[in-house]
A and B are shown apart, each in its own frame.
Chain A
Amino acid sequence: MNAILSISRRSFIIGVASTACGLSLGFNVPFIKPALAEGAETAPEINAWVVIRPDDTVVIRIARSEMGQGTLTGLAQLVAEELNCDWSKVTTEYPSPAQNLARDRVWSNFSTGGSRGIRESHEYVRIGGAVAREMLIAAAAAEWGVPASECAARMGMVTHAASDRATFYGQLAAAAARMTPPANVTLKDPKDWTIAGKPLPRLDTADKLNGSQVYGVDLKLPNMLNAAIRACPYFGGKVESFDAAAVAGMPGVRTVVQVDETAVAVVADTWWRAKTALDALPVVWDEGPNRQVTSASIAAMLEEGLGANDAFIGAKQGDAGAALSAAGRTVTATYAFPYQNHATMEPMNATALYTPERCEVWVPTQNGEASLAAAAEAAGLPVQQCEVHKIHLGGGFGRRGNFQDYVRQAVSIAKQVPGTPVKLMWSREEDMLHGAYHPTTQCRLTGALDADGNLTALHMRISGQSILAAVRPEAMQNGMDPVVFQGLVLAGTEGTLGYTVDNLLVDHAMRNPPIPPGFWRGVNLNQNALYVECFMDELAHAAGVDPLAFRRKLMAKHPKHLAVLEAVAERIGWDTPPAAGVHRGLAQIMGFGSYVAAAAEVSVTDGQLRIHRIVAATDPGHVVNPAQVERQVEGSFVYGLSACIYGECTVNGGRMEQENFDSYEVLRMAEMPEVETMILPSGGFWGGVGEPTIAVAAPAVLNAIFAATGKRIRTLPLKNHDLA
């Protein structure tokens, strides 16, 4: 069970947690004073991360959002590991964004994106667990009148061996909460972990098997109304007029409202009736300034950038220009990557309740604090008078973090029916037409080969759209978007190029079409890996050298990049011939702090591609739950191969052409290859898992297609190409 239990002016009780055995817990959020509520048993918190109830249930607070990636379980494992508690007694809950604000951001960052959920918070959540453990030990020691140093904590108990005494955590929690937290704790060496590092089952599975998991679209509040919305489908356009009277008498309709300048919404008793009336609502659009924009005009804009003089430099070594000019032999190719939609299975939605004094929002969000800020802004209220209740997401993939358009819309609608909660849900068509699209770029690569087939110079000119320029301009560096160069830079811990090229230039001619771009799972690593890894294959072929051997010569100074590449090559049997008709391709990249590689086996028969097998390797430094890492890697190939084979949002007349899964196809079961995941943590750093392997899916497959057909596919998706 996982449902709204009660609602009143003073308090909301929302079940956001479930245990491994399927119980759920009430989480009482005070309506006015945003202090962390205590549970029905009034169990005190030991600290911000840990509440222990008298029945020994351990409630671990999770600041990051669960959207399928499994960090709810992984973060709980890290806290539980240091807490030395009984894992079977662990459950979780989300603290709210307003509580975080009121407590000086004691839970730090709520943002759940960039594969940062664990790698960015592992240390402070482990400290939280360790501090709570020490406070429990101190409480027991005080009760027994023995030195804390003689006590030990394990499996949810504090013991004192000398006097043969033991007490469960549940009996100590109240006293522990009053202890002074230790100033310093020593974290365990990961090699000593017994809960973290283990392939434990997810904590959130049970409710996902029987329909009881409540997603944002499932929320029910007393007297709630439902809203369906249509925003101007033309980018940059807005509402000119609409005829509310035409649908006012339709069944269930309560009101028809304009939402900001750009959208209209019908509010009705049910969503289906709201949508039915919306479909019948006459709307005249001010189509805005972009009616002439098409995919072709955008491509032309980017092509101009490929040869432009001015560009931002992301990586530079030696003098690539001079070396290329002097080279005896050069190879050039131009690649392109199209717009993609996140297409989360759960459409965008938010539920808002507005009064002139208070605004509350229930929303599946990757960033609860961004939702809170958006709610306050849209409500026109101080943030202290707003609250956001986080709900597990039916997919996020980057759409629900930085972009809170649906929250602003929900609040804007709720403001027009004050005192009544309104659930706004987008149709799939709305979702497809108003994405935060994976940006489009092109890349021209020119490499120089010496007489021995060595790469002596490389210029990668990227032309295209900057995400940061559109959505986080404050993060730009002197006009440059550093994120454009994911996986291609020479230094840092996020994603460095795995090749040493004596004369190297990677630069970016920023060309920003009027299409809203966003962070799409894998972000810019997706196209950068495609560009560099397919071109490495082209260079190897031109040099007449095996693609693995060609890369290896450039990777001597990049042992971690090389290790994952060699691992997949060995597993797929690179040095032995594949089965008849089967061909192989390789790719590697570093991104989101992790080193990843893939090897693919494909066949192409009468133009029909079949991907038989993927071997993937990842070195994320440390692994908190290998079973979840394996699931993330498998899943990343579904996302990456969907983009490779089908994914393309095309622009015509200033709007997107694809409106649903019938025109925006994605990978389904029949095309899903076997995925063998090799988890190769080398220690010493913490990398992300959810995204990096997406980026090697397409290049590994495209390189295998070249091996099979001799055809170089340089633009996605594959559905536009004839492989026969």
Chain B
Amino acid sequence: MARLIINGTPRDIEVDPDTPLLWVIREQIGLTGTKYGCGVAACGACTVHIDGVATRSCVLPVSAVEPDQQITTIEGLSPDSSHPVQQAWLALDVPQCGYCQAGMIMAAAGLLMQNPNPADEDINAEITNICRCGTYNRVRAAIKLAAKSGEATQRG
């Protein structure tokens, strides 16, 4: 049994403690916006926030999450896609196939919480998610647009 707070709601889950958080979120909580891409924390498709820090959930055993830690998934980033990062993504029509984009958005939102006005070098260092369609330049532009909106730091 594990207690997790996911998108503000406490959940008690029957689960093997070794199960990666990703699979608890996807298969037991039923929130499928967080994606599996590699299972070795190499691609970032599984990025969620734990206490506001962008974290790759595919290699994190659920037992490593404390019961009082706040887990935020793409579904919980905002109730209505109004987070500045989501709004910037919409304004620049960033996604192509879209599969990696939840992870990208969560990574970008995490970056902006730590660093409200990231330079290119900061983006390069922090956004290492893989996109095979090739949205990188629009992701970069959307992060800068979200930063400019000035609200990104105030939202989880």
Report which A residues bind B (CB closer than 8 A). Answer: 22, 67-70, 201-202, 204-215, 217-218, 220, 226, 251, 270-272, 343-347, 392-397, 425, 427-429, 627, 631, 634-639, 642, 660-662, 666-670, 672, 674-675
Contact = CB atoms under 8 A, between A and B. Distances in A.
Nearest to A638: B134
A661 B37 CA distance: 9
Given A345-B100, A661-B43, A395 B33 contact: no
A669 B128 contact: yes
Contact of A201 (B78, B93, B138, B139): B93
B96 interface: yes
A345 B37 CA distance: 6
A392 to B, nearest CB: 7
B39 A427 contact: yes
Contacts of A395: 97, 99, 132-133
A661 B38 contact: yes
Contact of B101 (A208, A627, A637): A208
Nearest to B75: A211
Nearest to B76: A211
A268 to B, nearest CB: 10
Nearest to B143: A669
A666 B132 contact: yes
B45 interface: yes
Interface string B16-40: 1001100100111011111111111
Interface in B46-104: 73-75, 77-78, 81, 86, 89-90, 93-102
B81 A270 contact: no
B130 A215 contact: no
A35 B140 CA distance: 46
A633 to B, nearest CB: 9
Given A214-B32, A661-B40, A661-B43, A634 B134 contact: yes
B96 to A, nearest CB: 3
A345 B132 contact: yes
B89 A345 contact: no
A270 B27 contact: yes
B23 A672 contact: no
B80 to A, nearest CB: 8
Contact of A205 (B32, B39, B43, B90): B90
A340 B102 CA distance: 26
Contact of B96 (A211, A271, A631): A631
A347 B99 CA distance: 10
B153 interface: no
B137 interface: yes
Given A69-B96, A213-B98, A660-B42, A272 B35 contact: no
B125 to A, nearest CB: 7
Contacts of B77: 210
B123 A660 contact: no
Contacts of A210: 33, 74-75, 77-78, 81, 86
B123 to A, nearest CB: 7
A209 B97 contact: no
B35 to A, nearest CB: 7
Contact of B95 (A209, A220, A661, A674): A209
Given A67-B97, A68-B96, A208-B101, A346 B133 contact: no
Nearest to B127: A669
Nearest to B94: A205
B48 to A, nearest CB: 11
5 interchain residue pairs of minimum CB distance? A211-B33, A635-B134, A638-B134, A68-B97, A394-B99
Contact of B128 (A207, A218, A346, A670): A670
Contacts of A392: 97-98
B15 to A, nearest CB: 9
A67 B23 CA distance: 24
Given A270-B27, A660-B42, A344 B132 contact: yes
A427 to B, nearest CB: 6
A478 to B, nearest CB: 37
A709 B138 CA distance: 31
Given A634-B138, A666-B130, 5 more contacts: A68-B96, A210-B75, A345-B35, A392-B97, A660-B40
22 contacts: A22-B81, A67-B97, A207-B98, A210-B74, A211-B32, A211-B74, A214-B32, A217-B36, A218-B32, A226-B27, A270-B27, A272-B23, A344-B97, A345-B97, A345-B132, A392-B97, A427-B39, A631-B93, A638-B134, A639-B132, A661-B43, A670-B128
Contacts of B33: 210-212
Contacts of A627: 93
B74 A675 contact: no
Given A210-B81, A211-B32, A272-B20, A635 B96 contact: yes
B43 A345 contact: yes
Interface string B117-136: 00000011101111111111
B156 to A, nearest CB: 15
A669 B123 contact: yes
A425 to B, nearest CB: 8
B93 A205 contact: yes
Contacts of A67: 97
A70 B134 CA distance: 13
A8 B101 CA distance: 33
B51 to A, nearest CB: 20
Contacts of B4: none
B74 A668 contact: no
A669 B132 contact: no
A271 B28 CA distance: 11
A631 B138 contact: yes
Contact of B124 (A201, A205, A670): A670
B6 interface: no
B27 A208 contact: no
B93 A209 contact: no
Contacts of B98: 68, 204, 207-208, 213, 392, 394
A519 to B, nearest CB: 16
B20 A211 contact: no
A343 B132 CA distance: 8
A129 to B, nearest CB: 23
B128 to A, nearest CB: 5
B105 interface: yes
B84 to A, nearest CB: 12
A250 to B, nearest CB: 10
Nearest to B37: A345
A422 to B, nearest CB: 14
A658 to B, nearest CB: 12
B39 A660 contact: yes
B132 A638 contact: yes
A224 to B, nearest CB: 11
Contact of A208 (B32, B95, B123): B95
Contacts of B35: 215, 217, 345-346, 394
Contacts of A672: 136-137, 140
B12 to A, nearest CB: 17
A212 B27 CA distance: 15
B137 A634 contact: yes
A22 B28 CA distance: 26
A345 B131 CA distance: 7
Contacts of B130: 345, 661, 666, 668
B142 to A, nearest CB: 10
Contacts of B140: 669, 672
Contacts of A667: 136
Contacts of B131: 345, 638
Contact of B135 (A347, A429, A635, A661): A635
Contact of A211 (B31, B90, B129): B31
Contacts of B138: 631, 634
B102 to A, nearest CB: 5
A638 B93 CA distance: 18
